[in-house]
Structure formats: C-alpha cells, structure tokens
Structure 1
Amino acid sequence: MLRTIESLKGCTVAASDGEIGSIEEVYFDDEAWGIRYLVVKTGNWISERRVLISPYSVRHTDPGATSVHVDLTRQQVSDSPAIDTHKPVSRQHEAEYLRYYGYPNYWGGLGVWGMSSYPAFGPALLPDVSTDTREQLALYADKPPGDSHLRSTDAVDGYHIEASDGVFGHVSGFIFDDETWTMRYLVVDTRNWWPAAKEVLIATDWIFLIDWYETTVSTELTRDAIKDSPAYDSSVPVVRDYETELYAFYGKKGYWAEKSENVPASRPESPVHVPGP
C-alpha cells in the first residue's frame, strides 16, 4: 500500500517491552530510493537521544494506528551505536549499526534490499541466487563501498524541480510503498510557477539527479507535461487506477509490472503495514 511520509511523523515506535519514542524524520538513499532508517526521538529514558530504526525491525502495526511496532527491546535500542543527526551518516557507521543488530547489508546487491526487494532476511526470505553471486555479494560484508547516499526527507522537502526545460515546482511531500519500504513518488507543488496551482506526482524512476548544492531535483520530463499531468489530491489515498493513469499519461511502464516479473520465490507472507495518512 502507498502511504505518505508525513503519516509516519509523530507516530510512536513501540518495542516488545515498551515505547521507544516518536518518529521525527526518514532517511532514504538517492540511488535505490529505499527507506533505510526512521529517525526516532526517544523520551527521557535515554536522555532524549535520537536513534535509527531500520525497516528490517518493523514487525507490524494495525491499519490506521498511530504506532509502529518493532521486533526490538528497549535495551537493544539503548545500547545501539550513537548517531549525530546533524552530520551525514557514513557507510562505516551504517556497517557498525547493521552488525550490531545482525542485519544484512543492503548495498551492493541485486535489489533495493541487497538480495531481496523486501526488508526481510534469513534463508527462507531471500530469493534464490547462484553460489557465485552469493560469494560476490559477500565481498561487501566487511568492505562497505563508497558513500552511503543517505538523505533526509526533511532536507529534500522544498527542493526545486528542474524539468528538461526549466524549473517547475518544488518538492512538498513523499509517497512510499509500505511493503517494500521504497520511495515511489515525490509530491510536487506548482503554485509558484503556474497560476492554476495544483500538486502532482513525479515517480522516483523519472528522476536522474538530486543536486544537494543547488537544492534541485532533476527530471527529463518537460514543464508542459508536468503541468498537464493528472492532479494529485492529498486527501485521497494513491490507488493503482490513479497510478495507471499517471504512467499512461507519460507513456511509461508501471513499476508494478516489473515487480510482478521479479517477485522472489519466498516473499514475506505478511506485508508490513504503517499508519495511513
């Protein structure tokens, strides 16, 4: 199901033995567009620290609820590696974090989540791949490659949209898939560039660059195309019929068609649910 990032903010994160804190922002990577961490502000029980919670740990939450349940204890979270949210999260810090919790590395693999399209791990939940491929992916275990490419949704909110023929609109929100924890769309507000203002969606598949110095998000779509695309109504959930109309308008193949062709043989039985908008 598709949800807004805004629907996560303020939600309580509940461990197996009590509350951890509330979600403040979300970190995603600008290459695979996977949501890597929830930034959680803890209560007084650990001095108002901010901790990272990976989708790997999310267990469940009831639809419409205001809490996200994780398969962790408060002690595990308290003892987790410290994070300074005022500084970029390095790949080395990520490697330390993942080792602490026993999670697999998501980088260097074949899917958004390393060897899977879902934030699940363990032999029963990983797709079948060749021995050679497993050996190649294992090389990344102790040698985290390159920059982490982690970005905060709070930081990208407000970035200008650079169309192929000029600036048109700015980022005003994010839509993600609560099953794969993948960012699917940026919400674009056009009111400062077009008198008949409206919000539209641009799929992350159609973005080729995020410039952190110029604070722009670049797409090969034209301004006229964006202007004439189906309007987005934030009060209505994004459903497949709307997505089909949007992709057909741009003459693009829907990500769900590709997804159905590549679903792993041992897909998680119960998709993760997060609160609705």
Structure 2
Amino acid sequence: MLISFNQLTHFAIHATDGDIGGCKDILFDDQDFVIRYFYADTNTWLPLSRKVVLPPIAIIKLETDDKKIHVNMTRKELKDSPSIDEHKPVSREYEETLFKYFGYGYYWIGPGAWGDFAHPTELANVDLDKAQQDGHTNVVNHLRACSEVQGYEVALGEDETGHVEDFLIDPQSWQVQLIVIDTHNWMPNGKKFVIAPSHVEKIDWSSHKVGVKLDKDALLSQPEIDMDRIQDESYIAELMAQVR
C-alpha cells in the first residue's frame, strides 16, 4: 500500500487529547527521498497559526478511511515545542533542538535513512544520552517541501516532457517510492506515469526543474499510474516491477 502527498494534505492530525489541525505540507530529504517532517496547519488552534513541525517518529496510527494521522503527544507538548519561522527553512540546528525536546534519537546517526533503524518509530526508544553525545554535526540537511517540487518541470537537456504531479509514499518507512509525472501539458494524449527516485539526477531549485537519468524514450515508456488503486498491494507490486 502507498499513500500520496496529495492525499495526506487532506488528513487531520490528532494529538492524544484532541485535534491540532490538518497536514499543511511535507518535507522530504532530496538525497534519501524519505519524509522527514509534517507541517501542521494550526490556524484554528494556535494564535497566529504558529507552524508546528512533526517527524514521522511521532505517528502511532494512520487512518486512511477517516483521513486521520494520530501522534503520540499531547496538544500542550506540541504547543510548547520549539517554534520555527513560517518562512525559514528547517536547519540542522533546529532539528537537534526539536529532537531533544521530543526525546528522540537522531535520524542522521547511522548508515540508513533512519540511522540504525528501518522504521522511524524505533527512534523513539533509543539511548538519548548517547544520541545527544554523538549527534552534533555541522552537516547541512537536504530538506525540501513537497508542495515546492510539485509542478517542477521534468527536463531532458533543453526539452521538457512533463511536470511533477505527486509523490507516492510508503506509510511504514515513509520512503518516497514513486514520483508521479504528468505529460498532458506537453504533448497530445499525454499520460500520468511514475518514475523511481533513483531516476532523479538533480533537482534544480533555481530553475524549478527536475533532471532525470533517462532519455526521452525510456522516460515515456515508464508505466502509467491508476491513482485509485495505490492502496492495492498487488497492483503496487506489479507497478513497481515495471519501473525500470
């Protein structure tokens, strides 16, 4: 089963003692292609709609039918969490402060997308003294908003063949498994198809373009996507096998 970024922006986020708002946006790592944070739209809850940032580590349950994300903290814990300016990027320094506040191990310690673990929730139960001792780093993170990349042109040299339409995400590992490309604006009888994150060569933030490693024929031969079937595990397995 996969879930799309577009779907998640219609989900409500629930603390252990009540609703805190909806999912406003998602930040992903443009190197590992994994979801790092959710932005909660707190307009109806907090004054001045202060931005609340939540890592997937906090998620205890995802209800796709009811469109709810349940997190393992109270409204007060979220209200008192480290604040961040709406218009400033999430820095590594802020990440360290946030993770210390929540009591989570750092995802950037270890070889994998979630450090030494396969799933983000495992970072909620680590040796915090060791994590904080080993965790400080001056390495810059690679966080980008899905809403920012959505709409970027897919470039093959000087040619564009489509634009980024959506991201398909594994709700267990929070890995971006597939990227949906729409070609309707560039060619007659265009289609929506998927590519793997490994096909992405470069995301150019200044020109709003995504460069890929495929030539035009290979790009356009990727499988079409039926968005109504992305929660069908057999369909997704078959689709993933066709991506080459």
Q: TM-score, normalised by structure 2?
A: 0.89
How is 1:114-125 mapped onto 2 (pairs within 5 angstroms)?
114-121=115-122
Q: Deviations over 1:109-161 (max 9, x none)?
A: 211111112102269889xxxxxxxx8x87641x2232111100010011111
Per the alignment, in what secondary structure is the counterpart of residue 22 of structure 2?
strand
Residue 192 of structure 1, CA deviation: 2.3
AA aligned opposite 2:19: E
How is 1:37-76 mapped onto 2 (pairs within 5 angstroms)?
37-47=37-47, 48-76=49-77
Instruction: Identify which of 141, 152, 175 aligns with 2:145.
Output: 152
Check if 1:233 corresponds to 2:234: no
Residue 224 of structure 1, CA deviation: 1.1
How is 1:192-231 mapped onto 2 (pairs within 5 angstroms)?
192-231=185-224
Residue 25 of structure 1, CA deviation: 0.6
Contact 1:35 1:183 in 2 (8 A): yes
Work out the CA distance in 1 between the residues paired with 2:69 and 2:178. Answer: 22
AA aligned opposite 1:211: D
Structure 1 unaligned residues grouped into runs of 5+: 127-134, 251-277
Q: 1:91 aligns to what?
A: 92
How is 1:161-172 mapped onto 2 (pairs within 5 angstroms)?
161-163=154-156, 166-172=159-165
Contact 2:196 2:243 in 1 (8 A): no
Distance 1:82 1:207, change over 3 A: same
Work out the CA distance in 1 between the residues paired with 2:22 and 2:166. Answer: 19
Work out the CA distance in 1 between the residues paired with 2:101 and 2:146. Answer: 25
Q: 1:265 aligns to what?
A: none
Distance 1:169 1:144, change over 3 A: same
The higher-RCO structure (CA 8 Å, 6+ apart) is 1
Distance 1:154 1:63, change over 3 A: closer
Work out the CA distance in 2 between the residues paired with 1:36 and 1:236. Answer: 25
Check if 1:101 corresponds to 2:102: yes
Residue 184 of structure 1, CA deviation: 1.1
Contact 1:200 1:226 in 2 (8 A): no
Deviates more, 1:41-50 or 1:168-177: 41-50
- Taking only aligned residues, the RMSD between alpha carbons, in angstroms, comes to 2.4
Q: 1:268 aligns to what?
A: none
Q: 2:29 aligns to what?
A: 29
Contact 2:223 2:242 in 1 (8 A): no
Work out the CA distance in 2 between the residues paired with 1:3 and 1:46. Answer: 28
Distance 1:227 1:96, change over 3 A: same
Superposition misfits of 4+ residues, deviation over 6 angstroms: 123-126
Contact 2:200 2:210 in 1 (8 A): yes
Work out the CA distance in 2 between the residues paired with 1:28 and 1:19. Answer: 24
Q: 1:269 aligns to what?
A: none
Q: Deviations over 1:218-260 (max 9, x none)?
A: 211111122222211222226444544554462xxxxxxxxxx
Work out the CA distance in 2 between the residues paired with 1:121 and 1:166. Answer: 43
